[in-house]
Amino acid sequence: MKRLVISALLMAVATCAFGTPTAMPRYHFENFTTANGLPHNHVFTLLVDKERVWAGTENGLAVYENHAWKTYGTADGLAHRAVLSLALDKRTGVVWAGTMGGLSRVSAGRIDSFTQLNSGLSNDVVYGVSVEGENVWVATAAGGCRFNTRTGQWTLYNERNTPMAEIWTYGVSATAGKVYYAVWGSGVLEYDQKTGRWDKYDDPDGENEIVLFKDQGLIHEIVTSVSYVDGILWAATYFGDSRYDGRTWHNFLTKDSGLPSNFTNFIKGVDANRAWFCTDRGLAYFDGVNWAVYRNSPLDGKPEMTERGPDGKVTYVDVTSAPAHNYVLGIDFQGNDIWVATAKGLSHGIHQP
Confidence of residue 210 (pLDDT cuts 50, 70, 90): low
Confidence of residue 205 (pLDDT cuts 50, 70, 90): confident
The whole-angstrom separation of Cα 163 and Cα 177 is 19
The whole-angstrom separation of Cα 327 and Cα 296 is 10
Of 5-14, 50-59, 91-100, 235-244, the one with minimum mean pLDDT is 5-14
Please report the pLDDT score of residue 268 as a whole number: 98
Query: Would you say 225 and 265 are in contact if contact means Cβ atoms under 8 Å apart?
Result: yes
Rg (alpha carbons) of the chain, rounded to whole number: 20
Residue 36's SS3 state is helix
Please report the pLDDT score of residue 208 as a whole number: 62
347 pLDDT above the threshold of 80? yes
Beta bridge partners of 294: 283, 305
The average pLDDT across 46-57 equals 97
7 pLDDT above the threshold of 90? no
Helix then strand then coil, % of the chain, to nearest 5? 5, 50, 45
Q: Which domains does the chain have, with CATH numbers?
A: 30-290+328-352 (2.130.10.10)
10 pLDDT above the threshold of 50? no
Kindly list the distances between the CA atom of residue 65 and the CA atoms of 15, 30, 53, 228, 276, in Å, as whole numbers in the listed order: 44, 15, 7, 29, 25
8 pLDDT above the threshold of 70? no
Please report the pLDDT score of residue 109 as a whole number: 87
Q: What predicted TM-score, i.e. pTM, was given to this entire model? A: 0.93
Confidence of residue 107 (pLDDT cuts 50, 70, 90): very high
What would the pLDDT profile of 23-36 be if each residue is shown by its tens digit? 899 999 999 999 99
The whole-angstrom separation of Cα 14 and Cα 37 is 43
What would the pLDDT profile of 125-135 be if each residue is shown by its tens digit? 999 999 999 99
What would the pLDDT profile of 96-105 be if each residue is shown by its tens digit? 999 999 999 9
How much is the mean pLDDT over the chain?
A: 93
